[in-house]
Amino acid sequence: MITIKKENEIEILRQGGKILGGIMKKLLAEIKPGASTGQLEQMADNLIREAGGRPSFKGYKSKKNDQPFPTALCACVNNEVVHAPSLPPRQLKSGDIINIDIGMQYQGLYTDMAATAATGKASREAQRLIKITKQALELGLEQVRPGNNLNNIGKAIEQHVLAGGFSVVRDLVGHGVGYGLHEEPQIPNYELSYNKKIILKPGMVLAIEPMVNAGDWRVKEAADGLTILTADGSLSAQFEHTVVVTESGHEVLTRYE
């Protein structure tokens, strides 16, 4: 069921999103050669708790019998697409790209966001992948307004990514968010005719998150049973914001710039 959040709930999400965006900004500033995913994990966990929140990824299970996710951060390096735990720690080197995905429960409600950054001097391909993925998110967000449908979002993202010479991951999607970390609807980052039926309405809160591969769109699971990798070993990038549909358009709740 797709939920509609009340005004007082949106205000809490707005506060939580602002805090989370501030935490993301601080984490991105720490990405440099020699930094480790363990340092980023400790920093994220501390900042979330100091703000009165709870890391929503830590201990998360999508199914009852799944292993609980072990860390506050997903820290995906190079060919890791999503869901890579930040522990055990890995040291970043110049030329790496890292995607930080972070979620927080604040006063009972959830926000979620992600960003990819280069470590030191990255290749031209890596820089362009990051740029195109970030632009794709912004183009998807532009389609969030009452009366539009989910397909408008996915189509805008996919067209920009394909024009840039990259591919959209098809096995992973964005989602509703707010009362839980993952809610309906699922939000593919590509054109899908079924999604024309799902019309955006004020009060919907969505996590829009294009995941883009430099090579083929296909992915595979790593040996840890959590991390998702590009099937061909190519680089991958992700950007994500939590956004609320308003009467006149939308409001991004997790801005950090």
Please state, in angstroms and rounded to a whole number, the distance separating the CA atoms of residues 113 and 253: 10
Residue 109 lies in a domain: yes
Split into its structural domains, the chain has a count of 1
CA dihedral of 56, 62, 64, 67, whole degrees rounded to 10: -80
Give domain status of residue 121, yes or no: yes
Q: What is the pTM of this model?
A: 0.96
CATH number, domain with residue 153: 3.90.230.10
Structural domain contains residue 257: no
Instruction: Please give the single-letter amino acid code of residue 32.
Output: K
Classify residue 76 as exposed, middle or buried by CB count within 10 Å of its CB (0-12, 13-18, 19+): buried
List the one residue out of 174, 7, 169 whose CA is nearest residue 80: 169
Domain around 65: 7-252
The answer as to whether 2 is a domain residue is: no
Residue 192 lies in a domain: yes
Q: 238-255 pLDDT, tens per residue?
A: 999 999 999 999 999 999
Nearest alpha-carbon partner for 118 in 14, 33, 240, 11: 33
Instruction: Tell me whether strands 219-221 and 80-82 are parallel, antiparallel or unpaired.
Output: unpaired
Confidence (pLDDT) at 115: 98
Q: Convert the pLDDT of each residue in 21-47 to its tens digit.
A: 999 999 999 999 999 999 999 999 999
Closest CA to 212 of 83, 126, 149: 126
Q: Is residue 128 part of a domain?
A: yes
* Residue 216 counted as domain residue: yes
Residue range 141-157, pLDDT digits in tens? 999 999 999 999 999 99
pLDDT tens string 211-235 = 999 999 999 999 999 999 999 999 9
